């Protein structure tokens, strides 16, 4: 396993094509705009060597028996699923931002399960290929970016119906030694400081879409692969010093890119789906279940930092014991812990798949993420309320450092007399970073927008079963309609409920 420093050093071996603000970036590790994101990802490596966190940050590979970073592990038990979200909360607490490695982690687990199922039906060798690739990832402790979200073009049209076929990543050529792909993926968290890219389809596909049913892995510096680093709220503040950034060391969210595949070649040993459109939905749903599981962990870890920041500002403002402040902080804690309960619940209710790997309860994973599209907005609103108007009208760090204005800022930005003004300025900027900036849209759209979770909750909610339960309690005797609706007798039906409860 690499430590944080070794991870940063490993990035120097790669030469990805990356553009930002109209210029080509020659060195990822030397680019000031990228540095905070690299530091956040490095924490996933560094904590794996800390004896205090070894249990949640590392695992034993079921393939090799070697100790590995948990971010390269395939979940082998419910305990693994629980340790995963404990790891997410820990890293959120340590970085106060996105640590970027989750998407690739979830892609590895989703592909392990889905390639097994594809091979079983189609007599292919995708799972065997994937296992060999996974061994390479584990051995070298590689950071993978999971590439799922296509740019999609006209959302009312299926991939094959688009006027421009490249708006979804697709197969353009099959060769004896591999395939050639073209298209683009959006919102690629941590792409510029990853080693590998794992591509998956973004939606359910039909026979006409089979060229879009592709999954594969390529190095981040593969020929023809181009990344355009995207803008974030207040991103260039990191060039002005460390106060105005709010979170100077670890940055804002996850450092996303627009990732373009310009006829990228993929050798067959790195192809994990090629035309099996009937398994695109399974791969998407399995990945989404894993990724939505995370959000009650990572976002709650970040919320822990925000709650601490808001409480500290109340102290700096001289009102830590005001009843309305305590009430607001209590509300923030309640909402954060509710999301945490959801992540723990979907993990504890996980189950074994035919591949041998474990998956969280899909219904509860979607409930987890739907809550995270709502509660962070409310706990951020409360943090803004506690902090006061200076959270968005604090003088700049340059004015604080300027000898001509330093004394004025020191004097008039003072809170409680015996506390340093600089501490108050720093805390305002941290709360601004966490409660006003780019963290909130990521809570909304990361791992899918609310409509996606509602669709899955409706599909998994089994309303017909609930209707029959209500009829029994109301004294409406089941008749032939019961078997027509459920496909089972009343005895068979309730026996299945019991078995499902045990399984899920």
**What is the DSSP annotation of 85-130?**
HHHHHHHHHHHSS--S-HHHHHHHHHHHHHHHHHHHHH---HHHHH
Tokens of 413: 């930005």
Q: How many domains does the chain have?
A: 3
Considering 245, 298, 339, 346, which one is annotated as catalytic? 298
User: How many beta carbons lie within 10 A of that of residue 399, not counting itself?
Assistant: 13
Q: Which of 280, 300, 319 represents a domain boundary (last residue)?
A: 280
Active site residue 291: yes
**134 lies in the same domain as 41:** yes
- What is the Cα–Cα distance from 231 to 22, expressed in whole angstroms? 12
Burial bucket for residue 165 (CB in 10 Å: 0-12, 13-18, 19+): middle
Please, are residues 212 and 2 in contact by the beta-carbon 8 Å criterion? no
Q: Which of 254, 280, 306 represents a domain boundary (last residue)?
A: 280
- What is the Cα–Cα distance from 128 to 115, expressed in whole angstroms? 8
For residue range 337-352, list pLDDT tens digits in order. Answer: 999 999 999 999 999 9
**336 lies in the same domain as 350:** yes
State whether the Cα torsion 448-44-340-380 is positive or negative: negative
At 344, which CATH number? 1.20.140.10
Considering 31, 97, 102, 349, which one is annotated as catalytic? 102
For residue range 364-420, list pLDDT tens digits in order. Answer: 999 999 999 999 999 999 999 999 999 999 999 999 999 999 999 999 999 999 999
Does 503 score more than 60 pLDDT? Answer: no
pLDDT bin (cut points 50, 70, 90) of residue 478 is: low
Task: Quote the pLDDT of residue 489.
Answer: 73
Q: Which of 280, 310, 342 represents a domain boundary (last residue)?
A: 280
**80 lies in the same domain as 29:** yes
Task: Quote the pLDDT of residue 465.
Answer: 82
Considering 45, 168, 277, 295, which one is annotated as catalytic? 295
Closest by CA to 179, choosing from 218, 205, 148, is 218
Greatest alpha-carbon span in the chain: 87
**218 lies in the same domain as 257:** yes
**470 lies in the same domain as 450:** no
Task: Quote the pLDDT of residue 502.
Answer: 58
Considering 189, 202, 312, 368, which one is annotated as catalytic? 189
Tokens of 139: 């051995």
Across 21-40, b (16+ Cβ under 10 Å) vs e yields: eeeebeebeebebbbbbbbb
Identify the three-state secondary structure at position 185. strand
Rg of the chain, C-alpha, whole Å:
24
Tokens of 22: 């109209």
Tokens of 418: 């015996």
For residue range 218-276, list pLDDT tens digits in order. Answer: 999 999 999 999 998 888 898 888 999 999 999 888 889 999 999 999 999 999 999 99
**53 lies in the same domain as 185:** yes
Q: Give the mean pLDDT of 279-296.
A: 97
Does 504 score more than 60 pLDDT? Answer: no
At 64, which CATH number? 2.40.110.10
Considering 37, 442, 468, 486, which one is annotated as catalytic? 442
Active site residue 298: yes
Considering 31, 98, 126, 170, which one is annotated as catalytic? 98
> Could you tell me how many residues make up the chain?
504
Active site residue 19: no
**385 lies in the same domain as 488:** no
**143 lies in the same domain as 262:** yes
Active site residue 256: yes
Identify the three-state secondary structure at position 147. strand
**23 lies in the same domain as 97:** yes
pTM of the predicted model over 0.85: yes
Backbone angles phi, psi at 70, to 5 degrees: -60, -25
Active site residue 341: no
State the residue range of the domain holding 482: 462-503
**267 lies in the same domain as 392:** no
Active site residue 6: no
Tokens of 149: 């979200």
**72 lies in the same domain as 28:** yes
Closest by CA to 17, choosing from 266, 270, 259, 179, is 259
Does 159 score more than 60 pLDDT? Answer: yes
**392 lies in the same domain as 497:** no
Please, are residues 206 and 158 in contact by the beta-carbon 8 Å criterion? yes
């Amino acid at each position: 396993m690499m430590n944080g420093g070794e991870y940063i050093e490993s990035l120097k071996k790669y030469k990805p094509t990356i553009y930002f603000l109209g210029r080509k970036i020659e060195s990822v590790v030397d680019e000031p705009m990228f540095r905070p994101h690299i530091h956040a990802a490095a924490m996933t490596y560094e904590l794996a060597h800390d004896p205090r966190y070894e249990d949640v940050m590392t695992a034993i590979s079921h393939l090799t028996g070697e100790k590995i970073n948990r971010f390269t592990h395939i979940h082998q038990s419910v305990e693994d699923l629980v340790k995963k979200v404990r790891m997410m909360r820990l890293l959120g607490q340590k970085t106060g931002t996105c640590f970027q490695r989750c998407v690739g982690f979830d892609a590895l687990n989703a592909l392990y399960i889905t390639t097994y199922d594809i091979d079983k039906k189609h007599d292919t060798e995708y799972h065997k290929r994937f296992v060999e690739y996974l061994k390479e990832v584990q051995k070298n402790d590689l950071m993978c970016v999971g590439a799922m979200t296509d740019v999609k073009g006209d959302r009312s049209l299926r991939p094959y119906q688009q006027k421009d076929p490249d708006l979804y990543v697709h197969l353009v050529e099959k060769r004896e030694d591999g395939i050639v792909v073209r298209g683009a993926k959006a919102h690629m968290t941590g792409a510029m400081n990853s080693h590998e890219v794992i591509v998956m389809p973004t939606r359910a596909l039909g026979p006409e879409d089979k060229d879009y049913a592709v999954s594969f892995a390529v190095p981040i510096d593969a020929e023809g692969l181009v990344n355009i680093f995207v803008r974030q709220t207040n991103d260039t503040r990191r060039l002005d010093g460390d106060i105005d950034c709010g979170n100077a060391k670890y940055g804002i969210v996850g450092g996303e890119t627009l990732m373009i595949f310009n006829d990228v070649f993929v050798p067959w040993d790195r192809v994990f789906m090629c035309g099996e459109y009937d398994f695109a939905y399974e791969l998407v749903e399995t990945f989404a279940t894993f990724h939505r599981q995370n959000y009650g962990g990572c976002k709650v870890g970040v919320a822990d930092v925000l709650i601490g920041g808001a409480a500290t500002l109340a102290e700096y403002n001289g009102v830590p014991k005001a009843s309305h402040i305590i009430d607001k902080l209590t509300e923030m804690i309640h909402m954060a812990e509710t999301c945490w309960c959801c992540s723990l619940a979907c993990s504890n209710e996980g189950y074994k798949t035919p591949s041998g790997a474990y998956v969280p309860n899909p219904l509860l994973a979607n409930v987890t993420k739907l809550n995270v599209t709502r509660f962070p907005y409310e706990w951020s609103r409360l943090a803004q309320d506690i902090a006061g108007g200076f959270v968005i009208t604090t003088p700049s760090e340059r004015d604080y450092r300027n000898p001509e204005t330093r004394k004025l800022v020191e004097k008039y930005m003072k809170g409680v007399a015996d506390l340093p003004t600089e501490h108050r300025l720093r805390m305002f900027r941290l709360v601004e970073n966490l409660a006003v900036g780019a963290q909130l849209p990521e809570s909304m759209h990361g791992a899918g927008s609310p409509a996606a979770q509602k669709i899955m909750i409706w599909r998994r909610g089994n309303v017909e079963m609930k209707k029959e339960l209500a009829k029994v309690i109301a004294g409406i005797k089941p008749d032939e309609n019961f078997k027509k609706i459920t496909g089972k007798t009343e005895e068979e039906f309730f026996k299945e409920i019991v078995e499902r409860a045990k399984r899920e």
